A and B are shown apart, each in its own frame.
Chain A
């Protein structure tokens, strides 16, 4: 398969995508001595926003010292990620402005956009808070942590699968 053909394809084998992801994570470690992660970038944006709006929280210990309001490595990572996802999806014609997921969602939860928008909002709050407590997210802790043999990564993966399966079962009911 030529380079153009593989870029045009919407879906790669997950094994191939996984190798690329593993090499990317290694490159980050070797080149800049940083692990890839995404939940920290959100905290950096929060910190900048709080300072911009002169919130009193900007002076809290966390947003002043742990996550100072600077354009961090992870914010620059987001810039690259947006470009990468945009390039990948436009090349394969997967790019489309979507108000909600293409398939499956409406079969299970109906056509209501408000329902989807509410659920991703609530889910988002839970995810980012949880990533803070755990010390990272799927990329920053599960992948980057485990690839250094940190027990934290494996504990986190175990936890997220157990509750993810139970929650999906509860949400889907008989459709599970």
Chain B
């Protein structure tokens, strides 16, 4: 019961958040790379900040152990990221938003999209020993966190990240506000009678 019910509920809210942010749509993803729409960055930074605070609070209180830390192997993480960005710009989606897009009725995501992802997965599995196992040994630090590697208290990094998110929040509010007032003044100049 737990094994089926919990992931379904978690997945439900996960995709609900992505769908409500508009990320099931092509333009929302690609426009992040043009910086004409910063939804992806805003969403990711907030999610990470909330996650950091919640996880490390629970860890410090002794409720959980952080035993699922993603492995760091510098070359693979970097090469994978570089390749991933190319695909994301070409397709306008990523694995999570692909499923979200399918759920909102995008047939290009369901047919060629899913088929492409499945093909890529088979290619990865087929070359697992010849490619992945070689790459993943280069710059390999294992399941270490930043605070373990630098021997600094984790709240320093968390504080830094949350601060960046806060600065980004304030910065984008100011930028959006000035864009809005510029638009208003243009409207006023164009039709002085109609605008209040």
Residues in chain A within 8 A of chain B (CB atoms): 9-12, 14-15, 17-39, 41-43, 45-47, 49-50, 57, 60-63, 66-67, 73-74, 76-89, 92, 94-105, 113, 116-153, 155-168, 171-172, 176
**CB atoms of A42 and B129 under 8 A apart:** no
- The docked-state distance in angstroms from the alpha carbon of A168 to that of B54 is 35
Contacts of A105 in B (CB 8 A): 26-27, 92
**CB atoms of A129 and B83 under 8 A apart:** yes
Residues in chain B within 8 A of chain A (CB atoms): 2-4, 6-22, 24-27, 30-34, 38-39, 42-52, 54-55, 58, 63-64, 66-74, 76-109, 111-126, 128-129, 131-132, 135-136, 141, 143-147, 149, 154, 157-158, 161, 169
Smallest CB gap from B94: residue in A: A138
* Main DSSP-derived SS at the A contact region: helix
Q: List 24 A-B contacts (CB under 8 A).
A: A18-B43, A19-B47, A23-B13, A24-B17, A25-B47, A36-B14, A38-B99, A42-B95, A50-B122, A66-B128, A67-B125, A87-B12, A104-B26, A104-B31, A127-B91, A145-B69, A149-B69, A149-B154, A151-B141, A159-B84, A160-B85, A163-B83, A167-B90, A168-B89
User: How many whole Å from B168's CB to the nearest CB in chain A?
Assistant: 10
User: How many whole Å from B26's CB to the nearest CB in chain A?
Assistant: 4
